[in-house]
Every structure is written in C-alpha cells, then in structure tokens.
Chain A
Amino acid sequence: QKEVEQDPGPLSVPEGAIVSLNCTYSNSAFQYFMWYRQYSRKGPELLMYTYSSGNKEDGRFTAQVDKSSKYISLFIRDSQPSDSATYLCAMTASFSGGYNKLIFGAGTRLAVHP
C-alpha cells in the first residue's frame, strides 16, 4: 500500500462547477500538507499549504485536513478552464535529523470544459 493514495481521474467538469479533490494517507506522523498544480509539460507549483488539521482558504481554493481520518481535500469553487491541470497532494513529517522528505500522491487530472 502506498503511503499516499490519490485517485488519478481524469475528472471532467463543466465550467463553474465545484470540484473536490482528495487524498488519503497511512502515516499518522504527517503534519504538513500541500497541494501542487501541474500544467502539461510544466513543473508542479505550490497551490496551498496547511499545517495539521483544519481549513485554509485562498480565493476560489479551500484546503481541508482531517487528521483523524487521514484524509485531505482541495475544493475549487467556480472552476475555470484555466484550472485544467493535474493536482498533486503532498505531505511530510519531521523526521529525526530534521530533513523532510515530501511524499506525493499520484495526482488527479482535472479537465474543466466551457
């Protein structure tokens, strides 16, 4: 079983829809949770970052972490065609020695059609 599980999709939605992207994980030591967006033929770019449990909002994007269920979500409101990309969840913990390794999910491919 992978440490981080993410449905690869693809997920196809109409413009204006609310999108929900999710990841589950098995390592209860994970404390830092991130969402990266990757456009085709480009490197991933950081979208959202949360520490421990709770919600964080940034414009049309909301990140949620439920540590008790080992489940994280990214919601996109009023989705736009420009949101079409692969969304990767990533997480890490504080290992001894202080060097963190970021563990990525496989990514969910999202297509928003006009």
Chain B
Amino acid sequence: DTAVSQTPKYLVTQMGNDKSIKCEQNLGHDTMYWYKQDSKKFLKIMFSYNNKELIINETVPNRFSPKSPDKAHLNLHINSLELGDSAVYFCASSQEKLFYNSPLHFGNGTRLTVT
C-alpha cells in the first residue's frame, strides 16, 4: 500500500545519456513535486504540478523536463546527463498546492549516479 512510489530506485548511467524517473501516488492528492537532495542532504524543490498544471518551476537547467500525464503521475526526464546531476531525486505529493494546510508525502527516492 505504498503511498508515493518511484521507479527506478537506483539509476547508474553515463554522461550524455537521457533517462527518465517515474512517480505515482495513490493518495488522491492534487499536487505533486520533484525535489533534489544533494550529497550534503540538502533538499531543494525543482518542480510542482497541481492537477497536471505546472505551478512551480525553479531555476533548473532545461535538460530537466517534468511531465504529468494525470493527477496521480509525475515523471522527470533528464537529457544529456552530467556528473553534477548525481543526487537522490524525491517525488512528493500533497492534498493541496498550499502545503502548509497539507503536509508533503515523500517517496523513497531515486539514487542517480552519473559516471
């Protein structure tokens, strides 16, 4: 009964490749997010979708492109991977876009290693 699930758990790939990470939530939430956690454990928001509409788009290289086919799914495609993209990518969801009213529920992350 996993609430927010991400695939794959681990991703090892070479520089220059293109890869995708998928996320699904079964909580019935309206809003989904991508966060990046670097080696120092610093979590930073990348994107947020509310009912399939992009509402937060932080300063992220345009090699990163999110896609939300429906409310329950949010994918992240990364083109031309670079060494600096190595990190743990977390998907999260919340009932509403104003998440001080509704807490974030995180998945267990996708560990991306670029060699």
Contacts and interface: CB of A to CB of B under 8 A. Distances in A.
A106 B38 CA distance: 10
A75 interface: no
Most chain A CB within a 10 A radius of its CB, from B41, B42, B90, B106: B41
A3 to B, nearest CB: 11
A17 B46 CA distance: 37
Interface of B: 4, 40-45, 48, 50, 55-56, 58, 90, 92, 97-100, 103-109
A104 interface: yes
20 contacts: A31-B100, A32-B100, A38-B41, A41-B108, A43-B4, A43-B106, A43-B108, A44-B104, A45-B106, A46-B103, A46-B104, A49-B103, A51-B100, A88-B41, A94-B100, A98-B98, A99-B98, A100-B99, A104-B42, A109-B41
B98 A100 contact: yes
A49 to B, nearest CB: 7
Nearest to B33: A102
Given A98-B97, A99-B97, A86 B41 contact: yes
B45 A102 contact: yes
Interface in A25-61: 31-32, 34, 38, 41-46, 49, 51
B108 A104 contact: no
Contacts of A38: 41
Interface of A: 8, 31-32, 34, 38, 41-46, 49, 51, 86, 88, 92, 94, 98-102, 104, 106-107, 109
A101 B47 CA distance: 10
Contacts of B105: 45
B97 A104 contact: no
A32 B106 CA distance: 19
